[in-house]
Amino acid sequence: MLILFFIVVIDLIGFGIIIPLLPFYGEFFHANPTTVGLLMATYSLGQFIAAPFWGNLSDRIGRKPVLLFSMIGSVLGYLLMGFAESLWLLFASRAIGGFMAGNISAAFAYIADVTTAENRAKGMGLIGAAFGLGFIIGPAIGGLLAGNDPATANYHYPAFAAAGLSFLAVIGTLFFLKESLSEEHRAKLASGPKKSRLHAFRQCLNNPALRQALLISFLATFAFAGLEATFAMWSRRQFGWGPEQNGYLFAFIGLISALIQGGLVGRLSRRFGEARLIVQGAAALSIGIALITISDTLPLLVLAMSIATYGFSIISPALNSLISLKTDAANQGSIMGATRSVTTMARVTGPAWAGYLFATLGMNWPYYAGALVMAAVCIMAIISLNGVFSDKS
């Protein structure tokens, strides 16, 4: 599990390099906020299309080959981004990268293979911590390579750096990672009927707990993805920031996420249970997003982003753990693939919706709306505590 952690960290550092730069990169090619939202959504659209395929394939041929194939695709996507000379090439690079991003669903399935029910939340939190570390180191590197002025920023070097890191992750997977899925289990799945995306979704929808967890996953990711997609544009207008300043703030957010998901979430899960963590995370995310709208000083902004990050860092592994615990061992890969499809569709619609609100109603409107969505999620989760999320269900 530790080897997988380091491999995912390396790959996600490359991913983190791009995140705070992409809105500025889009505006460099004269994209408006609505188009920037669509640009941010393109990666997730490709991931939405491919996630069930990768999850199902990992059940059949193993987790390691899927991790290898998808990371090689990430290298190609970043290289195209580095050579992009127009907005449509930038869109194409994100579409390719998204379609080949089967590594995360395979990583979650890998964790499910090697953990027990008792330490599942801790294992899921480990992948969350890898995300956090990727967002500590990656944005800082990206910001330094790009510079602090959006008008003169170098957007090519960060993309090439991301490609190099993903290639290192390919090497690490090839030579150091052991397969987690036994040959007997792969043979059993390969000889059985092929599971379609619709089959996995039907399995989720027929289970009340899975159905509710997927809805909450969608809404939480929808709100947070809208924040991520528009924040660089918001900070440029509110504080005059460029890629470098955003990179440092995203690195700070990543540090908080890594500390919470890598060390805190396991203890909190044992004390409160996944369902109560979901309530807590939804409430914190709603409060944090709302505070962004009144942040006119750096300390207040840091507080707002810290609260929002705490909320999302708690709710994500708790939901993944709950979904995994409600799923039988033979279907972990396909259900995790379906789960990733739900959250990646939220990362398609969330940025597109937030970009539209930013462009038409004003820069604070994505956060007004996101806070209201998470308040509704908090109410839904409270109702579910004694219902479908209870141990008796």
d(CA 275, CA 321): 10
Query: What pLDDT was estimated at residue 317?
Result: 83
Query: What pLDDT was estimated at residue 286?
Result: 97
| Residue 248: exposure state from Cβ atoms within 10 A (0-12, 13-18, ≥19) | middle
Token reading at 290: 């709302």
Residue 126: name the closest of 303, 1, 278, 308 by CA: 1
38: Cβ–Cβ under 8 A, 6 or more apart, which residues? 351, 352, 355
DSSP 331: G
Query: What pLDDT was estimated at residue 393?
Result: 47
72: Cβ–Cβ under 8 A, 6 or more apart, which residues? 100, 170
Do residues 20 and 228 make contact, with C-beta atoms less than 8 angstroms apart? no
Do residues 208 and 388 make contact, with C-beta atoms less than 8 angstroms apart? yes
Query: What pLDDT was estimated at residue 160?
Result: 95
What is the pLDDT tens value at each position of the chain, 393 positions in all? 678 888 888 888 888 898 888 999 999 999 999 999 999 999 889 877 887 677 778 777 888 888 888 889 999 999 999 999 999 999 999 999 888 876 777 777 788 777 776 777 677 777 767 777 787 899 999 999 998 888 788 999 999 999 999 999 899 989 988 887 767 766 665 665 555 667 777 777 777 778 888 899 999 999 999 999 999 999 999 999 999 999 999 899 888 887 887 678 777 877 878 888 899 999 999 999 999 999 999 999 999 999 999 999 889 888 878 877 777 666 666 677 677 778 888 999 999 999 999 999 999 999 999 999 999 999 988 887 766 666 554
d(CA 354, CA 40): 11
d(CA 381, CA 227): 21
Structural domains in the chain plus CATH codes: 2-177+197-385 (1.20.1250.20)
Residue 77: name the closest of 90, 58, 64, 61 by CA: 90
